[in-house]
Amino acid sequence: MSADQPHFQPTATYEADPASVDRVLLLYSGGLDTSVMLKWIQDHYEAEVVCLTVNLGQPGEDYGVIEAKAKQLGAVECHVVDARERFAAEFVAPAIKANAVYGNGYPLFTALGRPLIAQLAVEYARRSDCDTIAHGCTGKGNDQVRIEATVATLAPELKTIAPVRSWEMGREEEIAYARENGIPVKGGTEVAPYSIDDNLWGRSSEGRWIEDLDHAPEDDVFQLVTRPEEAPDEAETVTVGFEAGVPVSLNGERLGLVELLERAAEIGCRHGVGIVDHIEDRIVGLKVRDIYEVPAAAIVLTAHEELERLVGTIHQNQFKPALDQKWGYLVYAGLWWEPLRSDLDAYMNAVSAQVSGEIGLRLFKGSVRVVTRSSANAVYDAELATFSESGGLFDQNASPGFIEIWSLQSRMAHRLRQRGES
């Protein structure tokens, strides 16, 4: 570091001192921000850059193109990792068991993806002898929290940098920088594109008119899900089979989880299901609106929740949603590695041991409705449930005695209050 440069003052212990950055592992998406970063890091830190691109099932991504772009922009190494199986098995499956949603219907696909992306960044940084991990998150979102908390937890020896947070370039300056440095800029430059994040569990769009809370969704935001008004006039029924809380079949056909989720998404897209227009309380304090397209989650979570309630007792069914909510919040809030999350997983797994069976759903123009249920573990007896019959485990003549004792405290308290009033 030269004498005229001010001494670097980190806010957090894991932030990299520019003077000691030699080799950077960059989480590279191929988009404008991370492409500019790829050049900028080489210029400003005089550091080598190793790129890592993670495939979590983003639809329509061409990884060959991304890799070629990284090489062209000077990356010394370039890794593309297909992490779909790992994402499905280690992140989405536990989320299904926890019926994980945040707020009013956000199934956490981004929040589930980030800790895996950051975990892979740590693995590849170590393998490629990098001292620093760089990501393209801004300073206003949850994603920076999820990534940096993961790196700081798993690899205290690694530092991080987040150039988008510190370089003070707006979109215009980024485009100018890209032009000067031979970085290809996709599409027109007048209208900023939506900010997209997606994987096999869902897709989010932010920015542009989405920031106007009174602006109803424009059609072009829906790139996955058919708009409900254009969905087929015929309903379609789909059955989802589960074993121990994890989906294993679709319409009776056994499928691996990745393929099952991809096929569920396809069916959901066709019928316009899984559109969520969401205002979110971010952990960094802001309220932000997202448009989510979550066709697979709309089908699988609806089926899972129904089956779980069918095999659970009234007590289990009243208790678990509070734990589900805690699980979802920890994950949303970037604390995937918090031990309480794995403690909760132990509970989820215990409950899930019974969650096997099949749920039928009818999809029609944006709606998902449960229509059939079957499970060998259902805490259900059709004979007992029959309206008027008496016998077996249920003697209707026992009911009055039950009611008298069940209502005892409530009746006593009611009488005391009436006496107090008069």
Q: Which residues are identified as catalytic? A: 33, 114, 143, 195
Q: Under the criterion CB under 6 A, does residue 280 sit at the interface with ligand ARG?
A: yes
CB closer to ligand ARG out of 42 and 142: 142
CA separation for the pair 313, 40 (Å, rounded): 58
Q: Reduced to 3 states, what is the DSSP secondary structure of residue 71?
A: helix
* CA nearest to 136, candidates 148, 126, 149, 124: 148
- Shortest CB 247 distance to ligand ARG, Å: 23
CB closer to ligand ARG out of 31 and 360: 31
Q: Reduced to 3 states, what is the DSSP secondary structure of residue 4?
A: coil
- Shortest CB 110 distance to ligand ARG, Å: 4
Of the candidates 111, 200, 296, 300, which one interacts with ligand ARG according to CB under 6 A? 111
- Shortest CB 81 distance to ligand ARG, Å: 19
- Shortest CB 180 distance to ligand ARG, Å: 26
Residue 354: CA atoms inside 13 Å, Cβ hemisphere, count?
18
Q: Under the criterion CB under 6 A, does residue 26 sit at the interface with ligand ARG?
A: no
CB closer to ligand ARG out of 67 and 290: 290
Taking the CA atoms of the chain, what radius of gyration do you get in angstroms?
Answer: 26
- Shortest CB 112 distance to ligand ARG, Å: 9
Site for ligand ARG in 31-60 (CB under 6 A): none
Ramachandran region of residue 334, left (φ > 0), alpha (ψ -120 to 50) or beta? Answer: left
* Total residues at interface with ligand ARG (CB under 6 A): 10
Mask: binding to ligand ARG, 76-95, rule CB under 6 A, as x and -?
--------------------
Q: Which residues pair with 249 in a beta bridge?
A: 241, 254
- Give first-to-last CA distance, the chain, whole Å: 84
Q: Under the criterion CB under 6 A, does residue 223 sit at the interface with ligand ARG?
A: no
Q: Which amino acid type is present at position 347?
A: Y
CB 112 within 8 A of CB 334: no
Strand order from edge to edge, sheet including 287-293: 195-199, 202-206, 287-293, 275-281
Of the candidates 204, 302, 352, 354, which one interacts with ligand ARG according to CB under 6 A? 204
CA separation for the pair 306, 301 (Å, rounded): 8
- Shortest CB 100 distance to ligand ARG, Å: 12
Instruction: Classify residue 97 by burial, with Cβ atoms within 10 Å: 0-12, 13-18, 19+.
Output: buried
* CA nearest to 130, candidates 166, 80, 76: 76
Q: Under the criterion CB under 6 A, does residue 206 sit at the interface with ligand ARG?
A: yes
Q: Under the criterion CB under 6 A, does residue 142 sit at the interface with ligand ARG?
A: yes
Number of Cβ within 10 Å of residue 85's Cβ equals 12
Contact residues for 145 (Cβ-Cβ < 8 A; gap 6+): 283, 284, 333, 334
- Shortest CB 414 distance to ligand ARG, Å: 47
Of the candidates 195, 251, 367, 377, which one interacts with ligand ARG according to CB under 6 A? 195
CB closer to ligand ARG out of 117 and 265: 117
Q: Under the criterion CB under 6 A, does residue 293 sit at the interface with ligand ARG?
A: no
Q: Under the criterion CB under 6 A, does residue 197 sit at the interface with ligand ARG?
A: yes
Q: Under the criterion CB under 6 A, does residue 123 sit at the interface with ligand ARG?
A: no
Site for ligand ARG in 230-249 (CB under 6 A): none
CB closer to ligand ARG out of 267 and 291: 291
Per-residue burial over 5-14, b if 16 or more Cβ lie within 10 Å, else e, is eeeeeeeeeb
Site for ligand ARG in 310-369 (CB under 6 A): none
Of the candidates 48, 148, 290, 306, which one interacts with ligand ARG according to CB under 6 A? 290
CB 27 within 8 A of CB 40: no
Q: Under the criterion CB under 6 A, does residue 198 sit at the interface with ligand ARG?
A: no
CB closer to ligand ARG out of 293 and 358: 293
CB closer to ligand ARG out of 48 and 148: 148
- Shortest CB 124 distance to ligand ARG, Å: 21
Handedness of CA 16, 18, 24, 29 (dihedral sign): positive
Handedness of CA 283, 284, 287, 288 (dihedral sign): negative
CB closer to ligand ARG out of 287 and 419: 287
Of the candidates 33, 48, 67, 143, which one interacts with ligand ARG according to CB under 6 A? 143
Binding site for ligand ARG (CB under 6 A): 110-111, 142-143, 195, 197, 204, 206, 280, 290
